[in-house]
Chain A
Amino acid sequence: MQATIIEAINDALHEEMATDDRTLVFGQDVAESGGVFRATEGLQETFGGDRVLDTPLSEIAIVGAAIGLATYGYRPVAEIQFSGFLPPAFDQLVTNASRIRWRTRGELTAPMTVRTPYGAGVRALEHHSESLEAVYSHIPGLKVAVPSTPHDAKGMLISAIRDPDPVLFMEPKHVYRSFREEVPDGTYTEPLGEAAVRREGEDVTVIAWGAMMHKTREAVDNLDGIDVELIDLRSISPLDRETVVRSVKKTGRCVVVHEAPKSGGFAGELIATINDEALMFLEAPVERVTGFDVPVPLLAMEDFYIPQPPRIEEAITETVNY
């Protein structure tokens, strides 16, 4: 079928709830109304109120309860309505979800998924636009996945739900409905922890993920005469170092694009990895195109903040001409 990202996510949830009756979906406004982005539409009608539940406005309770259910044998899929509201539950991810397997030496495990839309560009209010993936990638024991296409959104979400450990599934809401592509019917998985090479090239490696893949692709398409290898990182943690390093060894140049602020952003980890394993292959410093070290502006000026194609084009051109 042809599907948008949001439709693919909805389809994945239907598939997994039908496959495994220990799978539960809950969060704010997910049941009766089908979610503010309609990601969970139709689930309650199909699977009933016991398995698809509206929760109080209570992020700590949502994530905490997911841990309690997962360690008791369920497969909870919790929705946090916007990733800007996840910080109250950060404690539950750090203190319990990510380390219960480790703490109990494998006696208890937390196979749970927290889905949350992230990123700017939808003209929302304050706290609706953050990209905190690097923060979550710093927690040992927590996987962080960021799909950029409908095909991956469905396959990676099914992987996340089936994963034996907790996964934070960050959805690029800016491109939730911006395009359709062919998405297979039925169940399939896309692995977590593996990047995808979207375009092979010889001149420069460009790495992005989530919504930034689309800005980056636009930039790459605008550049004549530069043969870009474009990597969709897909998984922030665990990180597919092998694909990154192999590519940079081939091209000798690299640009990383992310929406989050520059300082402490995930580009830093990628550059450190490249320094560790491919320093002598580099022909130019690795360039970063990122958000600025400021909060995401309110809706009137958010486009200034978001890395736009011309900025990305400049960085790629400079890196190639270095």
Chain B
Amino acid sequence: MNEDPRPAPARPISADAETVSQDDVDVDTYRILEPDGSYDAERLPDLDDETFRELYRWMVLQRVFDNRATKLQRRGKLGTYASGRGQEASIIGSAFALSDQDRIFPYGREAGTLLIHGLSMRDLLLYWRGLEDASRMDGANSFGVAISIGSHVPVVTGTAWGMKLDDADSVAFANLGDGATSTGAFHEGINFAGVLDAPAVFFTQNNQYAISLPFEEQTAADTVAQKALGYGIDGIRVDGNDVLAVYNAVLTARENAMDGTPTLVEAVTYRRAAHTTSDDPSRYRERSEVEEWEKQDPLERYREFLQSEGLFEAIDEEAVREEIDEMFDDAVAAADEFAERDVREIFEHLHEEMPPELRRQLSEYEELLDERPDMYEHIEQRPKG
């Protein structure tokens, strides 16, 4: 019998090849405003007093908009809504660091970002009412909302690539959540951005949950920011409940990106609301955990700062909230005015020129709707939600 020519299996001995591990990397969390009310004066952004106050007003607006939109949904006057409650500092701080030339790729919770960059409140409500027409994002330089999680990341890279070729004074800016960081699109998009030196900012609002899945189960990585190293780009980890730190972090990321280093920002925050109005978080997390994060409220932390700087006296919070409530009322009224839509709208804008078969499907359907008005007993348009 021939001897077995295969090598003997490795014996269970120990070897000492060196490994590289996440424990070798220090990822600091950048912060300006401490939860105890103190702050690092050296790091304060160079903003005038009025802009410091504007940041606060916009955070209040995000809070009020989320509350009102959620209530509107409860009353049956809005579709499914995704609130940014708890993430106001991340949403508003990042928005303030962007220019109107930047293209924003939203992920859904950033009402304030879209409103700051030109979308009307009426149209934002119409979007959540499921009206196609609102997805024009009129006035805002924005791609549609990435409902398919992470799907926008490689597209951001492509747009940033175009900006680089044009030598444009802008970046492509992605909002995303911690869940998106597990998708293939995230990996491929960021990796390619690194190869291209594209002016892209990937802003991850790590709100600790992807619907029910906590961050610890999303990945074995300790942080999102460290993932940047795998792509040879830069990462920043920032306290996402500190609006000034987020502002500085995104400003840095933006400059970095325009200098040829795409940057992945992780804003560490917490989603205090349900995933959407269709979700019941009591099924997967303790109320006490939410309460812990309520103590880290981004509005309160920033208000304390404004108070200690003597900037808050010029803000009449009650008046601010009333003004926002009025804006919201007006936006709802304007949205209610939006007429019922024609069926033609769902066939249009798919192709520059409608193909013959689609034209035929439309005209046959229009004929049927004329001949069988009882069809409308089965069709409930919901222009008011």
Contact = CB atoms under 8 A, between A and B. Distances in A.
A101 B162 contact: no
A117 interface: no
Interface stretch (B84-92, B148-156, B271-279, B319-327): B148-156
Given A50-B165, A102-B350, A91 B132 contact: no
B154 A63 contact: yes
Contacts of A73: 162
Identify the interface centre among A64, A100, A101, A165: most chain B CB within 10 Å of its CB. A64
Contacts of A10: none
Contacts of A205: none
A225 interface: no
B7 interface: no
A92 interface: yes
A50 B197 CA distance: 12
B356 A100 contact: no
Interface stretch (B19-27, B113-121, B184-192, B255-263): B184-192
Contacts of B195: 55-56
A317 interface: no
Identify the interface centre among A61, A100, A103: most chain B CB within 10 Å of its CB. A61
Interface in A51-75: 55-56, 58-74
A295 interface: no
B189 A101 contact: no
Contacts, number: 133
Given A58-B191, A68-B160, A92 B165 contact: no
A285 interface: no
A193 interface: yes
B144 interface: yes
Contacts of A242: 356
Identify the interface centre among A60, A106, A238, A239: most chain B CB within 10 Å of its CB. A60
A98 to B, nearest CB: 8
A36 to B, nearest CB: 20
B310 interface: no
Contacts of B135: 103-105
B352 A74 contact: no
A61 B192 CA distance: 7
Nearest to A112: B158
B351 interface: yes
Nearest to B134: A105
A64 B159 contact: no
B207 interface: no
Interface in A237-253: 238-239, 241-242
B349 A106 contact: yes
A264 interface: no
A61 B133 contact: no
Contacts of B158: 64-72, 76
Contacts of B133: 105
Contact of A104 (B136, B188, B348): B136
A68 to B, nearest CB: 2
A141 interface: yes
Which 8 interchain pairs have the tightest Cβ spacing?
A68-B158, A64-B154, A65-B158, A72-B162, A61-B192, A68-B159, A238-B355, A61-B188
Given A68-B160, A72-B159, 6 more contacts: A55-B192, A61-B192, A91-B148, A92-B154, A239-B357, A241-B357
Interface of B: 103, 132-133, 135-138, 143-144, 148, 151-163, 165, 172, 184-185, 188-189, 191-192, 195, 348-352, 355-357
